[in-house]
């Protein structure tokens, strides 16, 4: 089944058999039918309502998504994974000197909004490291908005070979627990010293996946 959109207000001149998801704060003829599927019957000149069962799915033509009813509300359904638009980031203004406090290496150029509260944001990337003569413990973390603590981290050791440059892969994930827009930053730090840099060509991609 497909619907035109999810909205709170009935359209003014609906076509016969057109369908809508009734929003969470409906008005007018839809006032008592939140979350139902409203279908217009031209012959009766009235709306007919279909109450969805938990797990019911419809295709929303406006949002270009399949939506699933969770028993209370409609959520966008992501069957496997969706690469978020324009979220491939490459460091091009390095090097970023790392120290024992977190320094920003990469920032998503656009805010990121999860389609569902149950979905996870994955960050896949590489940090290009230029190291000094001592082995260091490097921690990479994903930060949301102005939060001072990372949502997820990964740690690795450098080799301690002076002048070496190499790429260290990382994969992080977190659940934003909402569908608000967020600014995501990738930060890095080392356990001690100041002889490790994050270089240009460090990169990452943000990916949303169903739980």
Mean pLDDT, the chain, integer: 87
Better pLDDT: 61 or 30: 30
157 vs 136: CA distance, rounded Å: 6
* 167 & 86 share domain: yes
pLDDT for the residue numbered 119: 84
* 131 & 171 share domain: yes
* 103 & 200 share domain: yes
Per-residue pLDDT, averaged over 36-63, amounts to 92
pLDDT for the residue numbered 81: 57
* 128 & 40 share domain: no
* 132 & 201 share domain: yes
For residues 152 and 173, the answer to whether their CB atoms sit within 8 Å is: yes
pLDDT for the residue numbered 211: 58
* 26 & 55 share domain: yes
Flag whether the pTM goes above 0.75: no
SS (H, E, C) the chain: CEECCEECCCCCCCCCCCEEEECCCCCHHHCCCCCCEEEEECCCCEEEEECCCCCCEEEECCCCEEEEECCCCEEECCCCEEEEEEEEEECCCCCEEECCCCEEEEECCCCEECCCCCCEEEEEEEEEEECCCCCCEEEEEEEECCCCCCCEEEEEECCCCCCCEEEEEEEEEECCCCCCEECEEEEEEECCCCCEEECCCCEEEEEEECC
For residues 29 and 84, the answer to whether their CB atoms sit within 8 Å is: no
116 vs 199: CA distance, rounded Å: 34
Q: CB 4: neighbour CB atoms within 10 A?
A: 16
Which of the listed residues 76, 107, 123 is the one where a domain comes to its end?
76
Which of the listed residues 58, 76, 94 is the one where a domain comes to its end?
76
For residues 203 and 157, the answer to whether their CB atoms sit within 8 Å is: no
Per-residue pLDDT, averaged over 18-26, amounts to 96
pLDDT for the residue numbered 151: 93
pLDDT tens, position by position, 186-208 = 999 999 888 889 998 888 888 88
Number of domains in the chain: 2
pLDDT for the residue numbered 78: 63
pLDDT tens, position by position, 123-171 = 888 888 888 878 889 999 999 999 999 999 999 888 777 777 888 888 8
pLDDT tens, position by position, 73-126 = 998 776 655 555 446 778 878 799 999 999 999 988 888 888 888 888 888 888
Place of tokens 């996870």: 120
Better pLDDT: 59 or 27: 27
- Domain that includes residue 101, residue range: 81-209
Which of the listed residues 51, 76, 101 is the one where a domain comes to its end?
76
């Amino acid at each position: 089944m497909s619907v035109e959109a999810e909205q709170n207000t009935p359209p003014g001149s609906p076509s016969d058999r057109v369908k809508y998801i009734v929003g969470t704060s409906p008005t007018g003829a839809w006032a008592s039918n939140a979350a139902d599927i409203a279908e217009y019957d031209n012959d009766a000149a009235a709306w007919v309502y279909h109450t969805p069962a938990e797990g019911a799915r419809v295709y929303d033509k406006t949002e270009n998504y399949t939506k699933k009813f969770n028993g209370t509300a409609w959520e966008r359904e992501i069957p496997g994974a969706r690469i978020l638009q324009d979220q491939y980031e490459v460091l091009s203004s390095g090097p970023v000197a790392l120290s024992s406090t977190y320094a920003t290496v990469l920032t998503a150029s656009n805010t990121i909004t999860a389609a569902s509260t149950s979905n996870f944001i994955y960050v896949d990337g590489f940090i290009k490291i230029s190291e000094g003569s001592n082995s260091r413990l490097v921690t990479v973390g994903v930060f949301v908005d102005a939060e001072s603590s990372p949502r997820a981290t990964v740690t690795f050791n450098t080799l301690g070979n002076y002048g070496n440059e190499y790429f260290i892969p990382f994969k992080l994930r977190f659940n934003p627990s909402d569908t608000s827009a967020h600014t995501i930053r990738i930060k890095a730090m080392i356990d001690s010293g100041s002889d490790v840099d994050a270089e240009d060509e460090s990169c990452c991609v943000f990916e949303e996946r169903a739980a």
